Structure 1
Amino acid sequence: MSLETRRHCTEVSAVAKGRFVGDPSFEYELTETRQQGEGDEAVKEEFTMKVTEEKRLAATVFNIERDVSVVPRGAFIRTPHDMVQVNRSFQGLSTLEAGNLSNYLHFTEPQYLKKKSILEMADLDPSIDFLDPLSEDIPKGSWSLQMEGSSVCVLRSLLWLGLTFFHVPSTPQHGYIYVGDGLKNLDLPFML
Structure 2
Amino acid sequence: MAIECLSYSYSLNCVEWSLLPPATEEMITQTAGLKGRFQGDPSYEYEPPEKKGEENERIYEEEGIPMIKEEIRLVTTIDQIDKAVGMIPRGAFIKTPIGPVHENRNFEGLSLTEAKKLNSYFHFTEPVNLKNRTLLEKADLDPSIDFLDSLEHDIPKGSWSIQLERGGSLVILRSLLWPGLTFYHIPRTKQYGYIYLGTGEKNIDLPFML
What TM-score, normalized by structure 1, do the two folds share? Answer: 0.90
Farther-moved stretch of structure 1 (65-74 vs 23-32): 23-32
Give 1:58's aligned amino acid.
Answer: V
Say whether 1:98 aligns with 2:115.
Answer: yes
Matches within 5 A, 1:28-177: 28-30=46-48, 31-32=50-51, 34-36=53-55, 44-45=58-59, 46=61, 47-148=64-165, 149-177=167-195
Give 1:62's aligned amino acid.
Answer: D
Q: Counterpart of 1:175 in 2: which secondary structure?
A: strand
Say whether 1:12 aligns with 2:25.
Answer: no
Matches within 5 A, 1:173-192: 173-192=191-210
Deviation digits for residues 78-111 of structure 1, max 9, x if unmatched?
0112111110000100011111111011001001
Deviation at 1:44, TM superposition (A): 4.1
Deviation at 1:125, TM superposition (A): 0.3
Q: CA RMSD in A?
A: 1.8
Q: Counterpart of 1:132 in 2: which secondary structure?
A: coil
Determine the C-alpha separation between the residues in 1 that align with 2:52 and 2:36.
Answer: 22
Determine the C-alpha separation between the residues in 1 that align with 2:47 and 2:171.
Answer: 42
- Residue identity (%): 55
Deviation digits for residues 6-56 of structure 1, max 9, x if unmatched?
332132022x3200011111110135475349xxxxx94525452100000
CA contact (8 A) 1:32 1:48 kept: no
Deviation digits for residues 138-186 of structure 1, max 9, x if unmatched?
1000000011122000000011100000000011110000010001111
More strand, by proportion: 1
CA contact (8 A) 1:106 1:134 kept: yes
Give 1:171's aligned amino acid.
Answer: T
Structure 1 unaligned regions, length at least 5: 38-42
Q: Counterpart of 1:71 in 2: which secondary structure?
A: strand
What TM-score, normalized by structure 2, do the two folds share? Answer: 0.82
1:24 to 42, 45, 49: 42
Structure 2 unaligned regions, length at least 5: 1-22
For these two proteins, the number of residue pairs brought into alignment is 183
Determine the C-alpha separation between the residues in 2 that align with 1:6 and 1:48.
Answer: 17
Determine the C-alpha separation between the residues in 1 that align with 2:190 and 2:92.
Answer: 7
Alignment CA distance shift 1:33-1:95 (3 Å):
closer
CA contact (8 A) 1:23 1:53 kept: yes
Determine the C-alpha separation between the residues in 1 that align with 2:36 and 2:185.
Answer: 32
Q: Who wins on radius of gyration, i.e. which is larger?
A: 1
